[in-house]
Amino acid sequence: MNNLKITAELLQSVVEIAHRAGEVILRIYEAGFSVEMKPDDSPVTEADKAADVVIRDGLRLLGDIPYISEESPVPDYSVRKNYERFWVVDPLDGTKEFVKKNGEFTVNIALVENNLPVLGVVYAPVKNLTYYGGKNLGTWKKSPEGEFRFYGESEVPESEKTILVVSRSHSSPETLAYIEKIRSESKAIELVNSGSSIKLCLVAEGKAHYYPRMSPAMEWDTAAAHAIALENGYDIFVYGEGKPLRYNKESLLNPWFIAGKKYR
């Protein structure tokens, strides 16, 4: 097991890597790009692939730790089941939002240790917005307005209004049914639409109470923001079971889930 320590210096190094990947993405975003379709009918662009190279090369300089990415071949479970820690990366989370040019896409980098994310960086290049944090390191937000530490307290008490953040591009009948369930149980409800892993960051920041996801999402879609959420006392719970989500599963496809302070 690599002896890389989880420190503020390591976190800042990963933030810098995410920003470098974001620079490459923005150049392609502004210059124009072509779109290919993967076998699962999800889109991929040259920006996804170029950012993956930047991130992989940057993380390699930090230590010899296994690397799992949406845009790189994933090791067989017979190999990775023995990983005690590994990087899990989505070089461009929200490719559909990238293609739509609405700016709601992110770079996601997480360090997973013993099946839990312990460090995460989420960077939205168009918004120049970075969420980052890790175990015992606190959680931070950097935007054009400045940089500050946040603690994840809900801005609106759930007793007054339940705020749900929902996917802009991945809704489902089951998600809509969950929304109606919460609506029937709550004094008032507000829906916030967002793309990519920003949704989970809004929960971690206390701007939303829950993020229901009843459509496909991979481990690299959630790990970075999940690390930030965990540091503030939030978690991701498997829908229908209420148990916390874990990583490095045989299938990297996450089950449906509810993110929040508690399972509901």
List pLDDT tens digits, range 46-70.
Answer: 888 999 999 999 999 999 999 999 9
pLDDT band at 120 (very low <50, low <70, confident <90, very high): very high
pLDDT over 50 at 139, yes or no: yes
CATH 3.30.540.10 fits 8-150, yes or no: yes
Half-sphere exposure of 37 (CA within 13 A, CB side): 3
CB 115 within 8 A of CB 246: yes
Q: Which amino acid is at 249?
A: K
Provide the token pair at 144: 């054009």
Question: Which has the closest alpha carbon to 117: 245, 254, 253?
Answer: 245
What's the confidence (pLDDT) of residue 169?
Answer: 66
pTM, full prediction: 0.94
Q: Where are the domains of the chain?
A: 8-150, 162-260
Domains 8-150 and 162-260 agree in fold = no
What pLDDT digit, counting tens, does each position of 64-107 carry? Answer: 999 999 999 999 999 999 999 999 999 999 888 888 888 889 99
CATH class of 162-260: alpha beta
pLDDT band at 18 (very low <50, low <70, confident <90, very high): very high
Average pLDDT over residues 195-216: 93
What's the confidence (pLDDT) of residue 41?
Answer: 61
pLDDT band at 1 (very low <50, low <70, confident <90, very high): very low
Measure the N-to-C terminal CA separation of the chain; round to a whole number of Å. Answer: 37
Cβ atoms within 10 Å, residue 130: 22
What pLDDT digit, counting tens, does each position of 142-165 carry? Answer: 999 999 999 999 988 999 999 999
Contacts of 45 (CB under 8 A, 6+ apart): 28, 33, 34, 35, 36, 92, 95, 98, 99
What integer best gives the mean pLDDT of the chain? 92
CB 197 within 8 A of CB 92: no
Instruction: Detail the DSSP E strand segments found in the chain.
Output: 35-37, 43-45, 67-69, 85-93, 106-113, 116-124, 129-134, 138-143, 146-150, 162-167, 189-194, 210-213, 235-238, 257-260
pLDDT over 80 at 38, yes or no: no
Rounded-to-integer distance, Cα 85 and Cα 193, Å: 33
Provide the token pair at 182: 């919460």
Contacts of 258 (CB under 8 A, 6+ apart): 178, 210, 211, 212, 213, 236, 237, 239, 264
Give bridge partners of residue 80 from the DSSP assignment: none
What pLDDT digit, counting tens, does each position of 213-255 carry? Answer: 998 899 999 999 999 999 999 999 999 999 999 999 999 999 9
Average pLDDT over residues 106-117: 97
CB 137 within 8 A of CB 119: yes
